[in-house]
Each structure stands twice: as structure tokens, then as C-alpha cells.
Amino acid sequence: MELPFSLLLLFLSFSTCLHLSHARGGQRSSLPSGFENGGYAGSTRHLFKESRSHIGNDVARGYMTNSDLEKAVKAFGRRCSNISRIYSIGKSVNGIPLWVIEISDKPGEQEAEPAFKYIGNVHGDEPVGRELLLFLANWICDNHLKDPLAASIVENVHLHILPSMNPDGFSLRRRGNANNVDLNRDFPDQFFPLNDDVDMRQPETRAIMNWLRDIHFTASASLHGGALVANYPWDGTEDKRTNYFGCPDDETFRFMASIYSHSHYNMSSSKEFQGGITNGASWYPIYGGMQDWNYIHGGCFELTLEISDNKWPSANELPTLWEYNKMSMLNLVASLLKTGVHGRIFSSDTGRPVLGSITVKGINHTVCLPPDIYL
């Protein structure tokens, strides 16, 4: 790396840490009584089914409405004000704010620490993620003074949680937003850039794109339903064929996906996906996805996490699903403390922050940073 400036706080690169099997706290939590160690034998059959006709009031009961979710987020902000900040990144088609919880010992401040984001409810009929993300936030708040893993995340990471990217779709109990657009097909695509005009995107998509321009996220994950697997880039191929197509940081992504899978109750035991992980293009190619856009345009390593074979399970199953995913969700965030390049770029001549880029030798991918932004 030949640059006319200095990189401060340089730690290990992702590519040098592939020997790690788990981040701090990487052991699975104790399994709840009555659970059995069984392999997962799911399939893709639920992913594209429109759930609206199957979700009656009885099934939806127990899930937070959009109004409930807003109240819960704001209540969290009041209860945990010393380690959190509540803000909105925009509004949905129908004007519902897209609320975010930031968790950090210095929320809202710029530090030489990695930033991680979780996004739930990308598809309106996949609401488990929006519930589990509130479980996650509250667990960290309740335990950061007594649990080393929770304390480490609060002290060393800026964790941003968007429980619902698609509140309109949730209200309508369907995959798409209020305009019936699949938000995970609405991002600019590297292979088929039919329309790169940001203003032509859905408001929820634009909100995510602007969010990444405001904050440099080191890594990210979106929570989905309909299968049980940790999915990583690339999500599509240039010829639209279904085959393995790894991105330049393929090893790093497989490492990250494995952290989630092996920390999960039974994801790694999948009979369909070896180790509970999959390359997106080898599973089923998609185009206009959020995951690939994050990596290409934001320098953000994002996973797509399918966390429940049932898209909309009964609400009484949510505590169990939280126990299944708890350590996975925590360990994925904590992995940033063991891996990655963190720091800030300064001019060696003036000592002031400058525009710069980072390239790891042997990996054909460059992360660009504007001044005053931490990697």
C-alpha cells in the first residue's frame, strides 16, 4: 500500500484472521431444556411465497404493530439513554419513520471504532427479525454492566439497529412495500444496471443508500425468513446462471457467515447447506440486492441471514427463536473486535484527515474513505 499519508490504529486485516473459529464469546449459549440436536432439512420453498393469504389475525397477534414498534424504540431510548441514541433515516412510502437504535458508550460521536448495522423486516412478510432486534437491544442494555460480551460491544463498537426497513409491507402482510416493490431487488446492480438514478428508487431504498453515505459501516447483516442459512456475496452472476460466484473477499465472507452459523443452535447442522452457509449465486441468483450493493458501494461486508424456515411463526415461538439466534447475533458483531482494519487516514505532511483508500494485497477490492471518517 503506497500512500502519501499515514494510517493510524491499524489492526489485523480480515484476510489474516481466517484461522479464528469464533470471536470473543464465541461459544454457543446453553441450549434451552427440551431442545433436540437435529439437522435442519429446510428448502427454498418458502422464500417467494406471498404470505398475505396465510396470515390471519390469530397468527399476527403478539407481534408489535408499527405503532408498538415506535413506542418500544422510544422507550428503549429513555430506559437506556446512557448507551443509546434514537434517530430516523427516513420514511416509508406511507410516511412511517424508519427508526434506528444506536448502541455505544458514546452514541452519536465519531470514534476510531467499527460500526455495525442490523436491518430487519426487509420483506414485509418476514417479521421475525424486527422482533429479535428488539430482544438484542434490550439484552445488551440489561447486561452491559455485568456481561463481558455485552460490555465489549458497548465499549468498542457502534451498533446500529433498524428493526423494520419495510413497515408498510408489514402492515399489508406482504413481501413488497406499499408500492409492492421488493426492496431487496431495488438497489443498483453491478451486472444489470438498468437504472442507477437514486431518485427513482423506493424511499426505503434511498434511506438505506443515504445512511451508508452518512456512516461508514464495517459490516452488516439483514434478517430474513423462509430458510435457515447465512448467505454471502455475490448474490448474482453476469450470465444469470446458478453457480458459485465468490467476491474478492470470499474467504472473509465465508468466515463471517460461519461465525453466525456455528454460534446458532442448529444452523450449522443443515442438511441442505454445508456448514449452514451459502454463496448467494450458487443458491438462487438475485439482482438489485442490498447485500452486494453494500459491498460494492459502501465498502460494507453484509450478510443475508435467513433465520427461520417459517416466515411468520406464531408469536409464542419468538423467545425460542431469540435463544436460537442470540449468540450468533452477538458474536457476529463482536467479531469486528478480532478482525478488520480500523483507523483514520491522515496526511503525513499536514496531519489533517484526507481522502484515501485501503487495499489489502491479493484482494481485488478497494475501500475508499472520505476525510473525518473511520474505517
pLDDT tens digits, one per residue of 42-56 = 444 355 555 444 445
Helix, strand, coil: what percent of the chain each, to 5? 35, 15, 45
pLDDT on residue 52: 44
Reported confidence tier of residue 31, pLDDT bands at 50, 70, 90: very low
Residues with Cβ within 8 Å of 10's Cβ and at least 6 positions away in sequence, in order, are 341, 342, 343
Residue 185: name the closest of 304, 87, 88 by CA. Answer: 304
**Residue 277 in this model has a pLDDT that exceeds 90:** yes
Residues with Cβ within 8 Å of 297's Cβ and at least 6 positions away in sequence, in order, are 188, 209, 212
pLDDT on residue 18: 31
Q: What value does the mean pLDDT of the chain take?
A: 83
Which domains, from first to last, does the chain contain? 1-17+341-375 (no CATH), 35-339 (3.40.630.10)
- Over range 326-332, report the average pLDDT: 98
126 assigned to active site: no
In the chain, % of residues over pLDDT 90: 65
Structure confidence by residue, pLDDT tens digits, 100-134:
999 999 999 988 899 999 999 999 999 999 999 99
CA distances from 189 to 274, 293, 300 (A): 28, 7, 15
**Residue 67 in this model has a pLDDT that exceeds 70:** yes
Whole-angstrom Cα distance, residue 156 to residue 153?
Answer: 5
Distance of alpha carbon 369 from its chain centroid, rounded? Answer: 21
pLDDT on residue 59: 52
Residues with Cβ within 8 Å of 7's Cβ and at least 6 positions away in sequence, in order, are 1, 341, 343, 344, 345, 356, 358
Query: 29-33, 143-147, 298-302: which range is least confident on average?
Result: 29-33
pLDDT on residue 61: 78
Distance of alpha carbon 65 from its chain centroid, rounded? Answer: 22
> Which one of 109, 306, 317, 323 is the catalytic residue?
306
**Selected residue with higher pLDDT from 245 and 323:** 323
Q: What is the pTM of this model?
A: 0.81
pLDDT on residue 359: 59
